[in-house]
Structure 1
Amino acid sequence: MPYLALDTATTSLSVAVGERGKLFGEATTQLSRNHSVKLMPMVENLLADLDLDPTQLQGFVIGRGPGSYTGVRIAVTAAKAMAFALNLPLVGVSTLDGLARHGAVSDALVVPMLDARRRQSYTALYENQNGFFVKIQEDKLLVLDDIIRAINSRMVVRRLDKTKPAQVLLLGDGAENHRDELQEKLGDKARFATSPAQNFVRAAHLLDVGIPLLEAGEVHDPATFAPEYLQLVEAEAKWLAAQQAAKEGEPS
């Protein structure tokens, strides 16, 4: 029985259906808005095209972010509702995992970058180790200079391993938006997506990550499952700062 994957954390809207090692179908669009309007019709159309009823699904894999605050919540909310309604398990995986797997067969260090404005990106580090594509640095929100430092630090380790080339594959809109500076500071180590599609998150890649977790019973409770933001909403951050300033100004 198949699984359904959803991701709405970025400008990409992607849904996919498949089993371990087998993709049944996928639909991905590159939109800047209206994920909340488009998501469920896209799911319904994909299931109809595959002659599947929702009751035939076995579970859900959800891109839990990081990414757009509003966007992340759309897939998470939809998945929680479906999991409750169908009494099915769900697992949340990093949206960065879905982007990084465009480089799963690369020998380079793979660095997905989702733009977070102010020269910041959501990012993580991945590489192939003994035939397995593994995450070697967890999701972080970093400014561009710190991303470059993290890459160079890992390159020192890779140079000691003669089997790994001193190259880095940079993916996502964060990489494209800062391409010139990354190229300048990383030099001939830097590689970028060879097609626009490699900068989009694919739900099919989320299936690759999430299905083994579901089958191992590593699931999330729909009641408590929440997005991964990595930073506070700007309004919330300002409110907390104001509260802290007011507290510090109180007489002791």
Structure 2
Amino acid sequence: MYFFALSTAEQGASMALFEDNILVFESSLFSRQTHSKGLLPMIEQAVESRDGMSVNRIDGFIAARGPGSFTGLRIGISMVKGLARAVSKPCAGVSSLDGIAFRFCYSQKPVCVMMDAKRKEVYSAVYQFHHGKLIQKSPEVVCSPESAIDQAGSNALYVGSGSKVYRDTICSRTHDRAVLSCPSMDGVSACALVVSVMSDNGVFDFENHPLNPVYLRKSDAQIHFEEKTGA
């Protein structure tokens, strides 16, 4: 079976193509242009990388459902839903934070994901893995970086875009005992989205992973509207 995954949760876009549980293509793009301009050529490249492959041979589509960029998420989710509907195949959504955390699923330390949420906040959750398997995950929250650090503690591995924005805060608050990931590993990985919910025999549970956006907080437009109208 073929699975296609896409993340547009942040400024960069990531996509991956799996055959059963084997990764056969992975690509990422960082651009200051809107995702809508670069996604289709990337998808064509991903599909055409396999001889005789076409979109209608893909058995399921997966997308990062958030949290993350409101505009980016809407574009990516709409793209995946459109492709899935066009070929009458199922689609599913996976947490953007899982798409970061599962890059470090063999970490012996707790993994604290901190995705930059702007407004001096981060989207965050803390993961505990054992031999590549998730054994515990805290609720996903939007909070101050200080709150995220206090929840994870000084023995954690800090990953994600927010961990670099607030690097000095992490080092200061943990007295330089925390470990930070390599900056090139901070983004949401389409490959990790699939790995996080795929069984060892390559089965993906689409029914229990609906593709509905998860924002964790209101958009700027909604906040400004409510302030203006007193709603």
Shared fold by TM > 0.5? yes
Aligned-pair CA distance for 1:111: 1.0
CA shift in 2, pair 1:14/1:237, >3 Å? same
Query: Could you list the runs of 5+ residues in structure 2 that have no partner in the other structure?
Result: none
Write the distance in 1 (CA, Å) between the matches of 2:137 and 2:224.
Answer: 33
Q: 1:116 to 1:15 in 2, by over 3 A?
A: same
Show the counterpart of 1:61: 62
- Residue 72 of structure 1 corresponds to 73
What TM-score does the superposition give when structure 1 sets the normalisation length?
0.83
Q: How big is each residue's C-alpha offset from its partner over 1:173-210, in whole Å with a ceiling of 9 and x where there is no partner?
A: 1000110111011124311113x321122111111124
Secondary structure of residue in 2 paired with 1:167: coil
Report how far residue 120 of structure 1 moved. 0.3
Match of 2:207 among 215, 218, 223: 218
Mean Cα displacement is larger for which, 18-27 or 175-184?
Answer: 18-27
From the superposition, tell whether residues 131 and 200 of structure 1 become closer, same or farther in structure 2 (CA, over 3 Å).
closer
1:179 to 164, 167, 190: 167
2:91 is equivalent to residue 103 of structure 1: no
Per the TM alignment, residue 20 of structure 1 is displaced from its structure 2 partner at its CA by 4.2
Paired residues in the alignment total 228
Q: Which residue of 2 aligns with 1:157?
A: none
CA distance in 2, matches of 1:73, 1:202: 17
When the two chains are superposed, the root-mean-square deviation of aligned CA atoms in Å is 2.0
Q: Deviations over 1:15-42 (max 9, x none)?
A: 1000343101111122233211111110
1:203 to 2:190 alignment = yes
> What TM-score, normalized to structure 2?
0.90
Q: Which residue, 171, 175, 179 being the options, matches 1:191? A: 179
Tell me if the contact between 1:7 and 1:63 (Cα under 8 Å) persists in the aligned partners: yes
SS in structure 1 of the partner of residue 128 of structure 2: strand
Structure 1 portions without partners, runs of 5+: 153-165, 246-252
Query: 1:89–1:220: 8 Å Cα contact kept in structure 2?
Result: no
CA gap of 1:130–1:15, structure 2 versus 1, over 3 A, is closer
Change (3 A) 1:168 1:78: same
Superposed CA deviations along residues 188-237 of structure 1, whole A, max 9, x for unmatched, are 4311113x32112211111112444963352556xxx4311111112212
1:85-164 alignment runs, 5 A limit: 85-129=86-130, 132-152=133-153
In structure 1, C-alpha distance between the alignment counterparts of 2:110 and 2:54, rounded to whole Å = 40
- Cα deviation 1:113-132 (Å, max 9, x = unaligned): 11111220011110114762
Identity level (%): 30
- Partners of 2:119 and 2:208 lie apart in 1 by 35
CA distance in structure 2 between the partners assigned to 1:134 and 1:242 by the alignment: 45
In the alignment, what sits opposite 1:248? none
